Amino acid sequence: MIVSLDNSKCSGHARCNAVAPEVYTLDDDGYCNINELTVPAGLEQSARDGAANCPERALTIKE
Ligand code: SF4
């Protein structure tokens, strides 16, 4: 599973990190700082939950 971030949509709500801090890290300003990340085994549901909680739909999951 791969998750990618559209930087142009990310608005720094940090909800992805609140839901799944083990997948989504933030920069010092509270913006998600992944670009394209291969989700470690076992964290797939966390990745889905974090992406689903992004109000900007900035995170895309590729199975
Ligand atoms: S929840 Fe969405 S908008 Fe907020 S930091 Fe994460 S990716 Fe960016």
pTM comes to 0.94
pLDDT at 25: 97
Q: Is 16's C-beta closer than 6 angstroms to any atom of ligand 1?
A: yes
Phi-psi region of 29 (alpha: psi -120 to 50; beta: other; left: phi over 0): alpha
Provide the domain limits for residue 24: 2-62
Tokens 């889905």, residue located:
48
- State the closest ligand 1 atom to the C-alpha of 32, by its place in the atom list counted from 1: 5
**At 18, is the secondary structure helix, strand, or coil?**
helix
Q: Is 3's C-beta closer than 6 angstroms to any atom of ligand 1?
A: no
Give the total number of structural domains in the chain: 1
pLDDT at 63: 87
Cα(32) to centroid(ligand 1), Å: 6
pLDDT at 32: 98
Q: Is 56's C-beta closer than 6 angstroms to any atom of ligand 1?
A: yes
pLDDT digits (tens, 9 = 90+) for 2-60: 999 999 999 999 999 999 999 999 999 999 999 999 999 999 999 999 999 999 999 99
Query: How is residue 39 annotated by DSSP?
Result: P
Which value, to the nearest 10 degrees, does the dihedral of the CA atoms of residues 13, 15, 21, 22 take? -110
